[in-house]
Copies of this chain bind each other. A is one copy, B any other.
Amino acid sequence: MNVAIIGAGALGLYYGALLQKSGVETHFLLRRDYAAIKAGGLTVHSINGDFHLPQLHAWQTPAEMGTADLVIVGLKTFANDRYQELIAPLLKPDTLILTLQNGLGNEEALAALFGAERIIGGVAFLCSNRGEPGTVHHLGAGRIVLGEFVPGDNGVLERLAGMFRAAGVDCCSTGDLKKARWEKLVWNIPFNGLAALLQQPVDRLLAVQATRALIRTIMLEVITAGNAQELRSAIPEAFAEGMIEFTETMGAYRPSMQIDREEGRELEISAIFRMPLQFAASKGIAMPRVEMLATLLEQTWITKPPA
Contacts and interface: CB of A to CB of B under 8 A. Distances in A.
A300 interface: yes
A46 interface: no
Interface in A251-307: 288-289, 291-292, 294-296, 298-300, 302-303
Contact of A211 (B210, B289, B295): B295
A306 B14 CA distance: 36
Interface string A146-160: 000000000000000
Nearest to A218: B292
B288 A200 contact: no
A208 interface: yes
B288 A211 contact: no
A205 B303 CA distance: 9
Contacts of A213: 295
Given A204-B303, A303-B207, A292 B295 contact: no
Contacts of A299: 194, 198, 200, 204-205, 208, 210-211
Given A198-B299, A299-B198, A292 B208 contact: no
B197 A298 contact: no
Contact of A296 (B197, B294, B295): B197
A56 interface: no
Nearest to A205: B299
A166 interface: no
A88 B211 CA distance: 38
Nearest to A204: B303
Nearest to A210: B295
Contacts of A197: 197, 296
Interface in A199-216: 200, 204-205, 207-208, 210-211, 213-214
Contacts of A204: 299, 303
B198 A298 contact: no
A198 B292 contact: no
A280 B294 CA distance: 26
A296 B208 contact: no
B289 A208 contact: no
B296 A198 contact: yes
Nearest to A289: B292
Contact of A208 (B211, B288, B291, B303): B303
Given A208-B303, A292-B292, 19 more contacts: A194-B299, A197-B197, A198-B296, A198-B299, A200-B299, A200-B303, A205-B299, A207-B303, A208-B295, A208-B298, A208-B302, A210-B294, A210-B295, A210-B298, A211-B299, A214-B291, A288-B288, A288-B289, A289-B289
